[in-house]
Structure formats: C-alpha cells, structure tokens
Amino acid sequence: MIEQQRQAIRLMPAAHSRNMSVSVGPVRRLTLLLHALLLSAALLVGLCQPGLAQGDQDLEAPGLEGFPTTLATGVTLFQDVRIFDGKSAALSAPSNVLVRGDIIERISTSPIALEANANTRIIAGNGRVLMPGLIDAHWHAIMAATPQLVVTMADPGYLLLLAAKQAEATLMRGFTTVRDMGGPTFGLKRAIDEGVMVGPRIYPSGAFISQTSGHGDFRFGFELPRTLGGPLSHSEVEGIAAIADSPDEVRLRTREQLRQGASQIKLMAGGGVASPYNPIESTQYTEPEIRAAVEAAENWGTYVTVHAYTPRAIRQAVDAGVKCIEHGQLIDDATAKLLADKGIWWSLQPLLDDEDAPPLVNPVSQKKALVVFAGTDNAYKLAKKYKVKTAFGTDILFDARLASRQGAILAKLVRWYTPAETLKMATGDNGELLALSGFINPYPGKLGVVEEGALADLLLVDGDPLQNIKLIADPDKNFLVIMKDGVIYKNTLPR
C-alpha cells in the first residue's frame, strides 16, 4: 500500500499535465497541482483507506507483516473430561475434546486418534471437568484494581502498565473475556490481542458518555463552566468519560467511541453511587438524547447499554431503544416485566453490604451504596420471576483485593441460583450478550460454550463446580489449565 501511494504521488502531477491544454494559465496549473497534492496526502494518511477503528493495520511499520488474527498453533486434545458446556444443567459423559488452532473442532465420547508430532499436545483430564472460560460482563480494566486517586492523578502510561498487570491476573482467575464498561482500553486490548501482553479478550466501550452533572461527570471544580468548543476536561482527555449535552453531542461522542473501536456504547442514564454530583434517584438524559446514541450504534451494527437504577431511568432508556440495562437494583415489578416482555438484557451485579462492599470514603456515596445494596435481593428475585435475560458482572472499582475476589463474587449467585444456573450465566448467557455487537464483534465466533465450532476458551477444573461452586473462588488451586483462543496460558497438571 505504501509503494502504491508513492507511485500515486509521482504520477498524478504528470497525469494532470498530460491533460492540460497549452493555453492553460499558471493559476489553473497551480490549482490542478494543489488538487493532486491534496489527493496524494489523503492517500498517505489513509483517508481513502478503511478506517483505523477496526484494525489499525495502517499504523504498522512498513516492511512488517500484519499481526495474526489468532496466536494459536497446533492441536490440543483433552482426554477423559466431563464437560460443562455452558448451557446444560449436568455434566457430559466422559469425553474427548479436540482443539485445532483457536477452534473446538471435535467432541466425542469415543477416542480421537491423532498423529503424534511436535504440534500436538495431549492433556489427560482423568475425569476432571472441562468448562468454558468465564466472562465478566461489567468490568473496568483500567480502574478495577487501581485506587481512585491514582486513576485521577497518575500518568496515563503508568495506569496502562498497572492495567496490563491486572489483565494477566484477570485471565489467571479464569476470566477469559471481559466486557469493559468504561475506560481507555483500546490500546490494552490491542496489546493483548497481538500477544504483546497477556490478558482476557476485551469488548471495549471506550469512554462512558454522560450528561453534565451525570454519573460520568468527574470534572474538577476548576474545569467548570464548560464552554462549547473549549478544552476537554482531564477525564475526557484520558478517555474515561465523554461529556455530552443534546442529541447532536451524544451522537458525536458515540461516533467517536465507535471510530476508536468500541464494540458497544455505554451511556449514563441515571444517578450513581461513586459520583458525588447527582442523586441516585435522578433520571439522566432525555429520550431523544439516548435515541441519538442508539441510532448511531445501530448504524454500526451494535447496541447501547445504560447505567440505570430506578424504574423511571430504566423505562426511558428502553423507550429510546437500548438493548441492555446495567445495575437496576431499584427496579420495580412492572419494569422488570417490561424488560422480559421487550427481550432487554439485564446486566446485574451481586452488590451487597458484606465483605466485598466497595471502600467508599465519601459519606454521600456510602449512603447511596446502602440504598443499592438493599435493592439487590429484590432485583434478582424479579429477574428470576419474569425470566429476564440476565448477565453476570462484578463492576469492581479501585480495589485490588476486591479484584482478586472476582470468582468469589460470582459464587455468591448461589444465593438466588443453582450452581449450574450461576455458571451458565457467566458463560453461555454472557456469550449471547456479547454477540449483540454484530458485525463489529471484535472476536467473531461463539464464546461461553463448549461445542464444536466454538472459540477455544477453556478451563480444566480440579473438582466439580456444579456440586461445589466455591471451587471457582480459588482459581490458583482449582483451575489447572487455562486456555484462551486455543493458547494454553496455565498448565499445572502433574507431568
């Protein structure tokens, strides 16, 4: 491509000159020459090439081959495993699972014959459980384990290094995929996908979009008042938040996230706990503003999910066309039924006033958190009552200890669900939610299931998590093999 552009630069002025009449004056010649130079410049910066948001191939250095779409090579055969497939309530009969590259190619209760060679790995399951990699549908890769003051004040490069370290820890907890619900994760995602860093698959939202004084408005006092066309606030420059007021601004901010590679859009549609400038009962944005984001996202083949707790905020978002609600702990019976009737996803977190309550220092936030905690039990009961499509996520923020308990937080769902239902939610169900990103899905293929043709994200568990869900709370001990995209990142089986 680079050589073609160089040839265009050399040839276009000559091509124009051949078409010029000898009577063309100097002004006309200069105009044609400028047109040629502008077109050449457009070719060089990629304006006439596909956008960078879905690949960034144009940013690769000349002479370097493009990065592969998968890092997996060779064949892996899991022998004698009982499968939790991400859908069923029971384990399979003893089976064998063949992974070729990054795809589950064959599952059989009969032996699978292979030619032994250097690219073949045999893993003896000895009756252990093979299950899909876990999926966290509400994660913040940049902010999960880093204290809020550090996120607010530290150098962006330092924050990304911390996030990269946490990404590897996330994968080692058995979470092979996360849906990131706000933060500058595009570079981290790319580094993981290219094998530069180790971590889970990331479905990025980019900056969460918020109205002035909304849940995503973390501006300093000296950054007010906001002026149209004025400088961006610190949180906006860092890619954490995007302040937008009016349908046109929301549409612009949505398109900016999509341009950078967002797989879905996150909007703040109601009050929050950590944000000090809005009551949790507040409804944020208007229906036309939310609809502007929905239209822009749908034009890109994807969807909008919104942060909302109250019935009024949830209903307005549903009326505007969103496909998923985050949180919703203050929902009422009629609104839960509405979600079920409309087929809206509910990304719900087991937020409780227990040892995993977030460490909030602001008294206002502490008070709001107690309101949310009090609504969690009723929210799960309503989700089950109306069979709402429910996703699991943790929404851990600013605390490394809580981040390390990601699996333990998932295990809490047995307060409302069976172990099989719990694991299905964090695997097969979450995989269905991720598929809503349509033709911009960064990882085309089936996630969250163990079936032929699915992507090979797999955990070999020492024990039966359908009988003892607490096994997932201690991944260091109980997850013996962790595979993501056909690549083994952990194998502690005896050799």
- The answer to whether residue 54 is domain-embedded is no
Structure tokens at 461: 């568990």
* Owning domain of residue 148: 134-440
Same domain, 126 and 144: no
For residue 94, count CB atoms less than 10 angstroms from its CB and return exposed for 0-12, middle for 13-18, buried for 19 or more. middle
Same domain, 95 and 208: no
Same domain, 89 and 182: no
Domain of 484, CATH number, reads 2.30.40.10
Same domain, 91 and 178: no
Same domain, 487 and 422: no
Same domain, 146 and 185: yes
- The answer to whether residue 434 is domain-embedded is yes
Provide the domain count of the chain: 3
What are the residues whose beta carbons fall under 8 Å from the beta carbon of 61, sequence distance 6 or more? none
- pTM given for the model: 0.87
Domain of 394, CATH number, reads 3.20.20.140
Same domain, 236 and 349: yes
| Residue 188 contacts residue 164 (beta carbons within 8 Å) | yes
- The answer to whether residue 111 is domain-embedded is yes
- The answer to whether residue 367 is domain-embedded is yes
Domain final residue pick, 404, 419, 440: 440
- The answer to whether residue 69 is domain-embedded is no
- The answer to whether residue 423 is domain-embedded is yes
Same domain, 219 and 104: no
Q: Per residue of the chain (495 residues), what is the pLDDT tens digit? A: 444 444 443 434 333 333 333 334 444 444 444 444 444 444 444 443 333 344 444 455 444 445 566 788 899 999 999 999 999 999 999 999 999 999 999 999 999 998 777 689 999 999 999 999 999 999 999 999 999 889 989 999 999 999 999 999 999 999 999 999 999 999 999 999 999 999 999 999 999 999 999 998 888 788 788 887 788 988 888 999 999 999 999 999 999 999 999 999 999 999 999 888 899 999 999 999 999 999 999 999 999 999 999 999 999 999 999 999 999 999 999 999 999 999 999 999 999 999 999 888 788 899 999 999 999 999 999 999 999 999 999 999 999 999 999 999 999 999 999 999 999 999 999 999 999 999 999 999 999 999 999 999 999 999 999 999 999 999 999 999 999 999 999 999 987
Same domain, 255 and 157: yes
Same domain, 157 and 128: no
**How many other CB atoms are found less than 10 A from the CB of residue 334?**
10
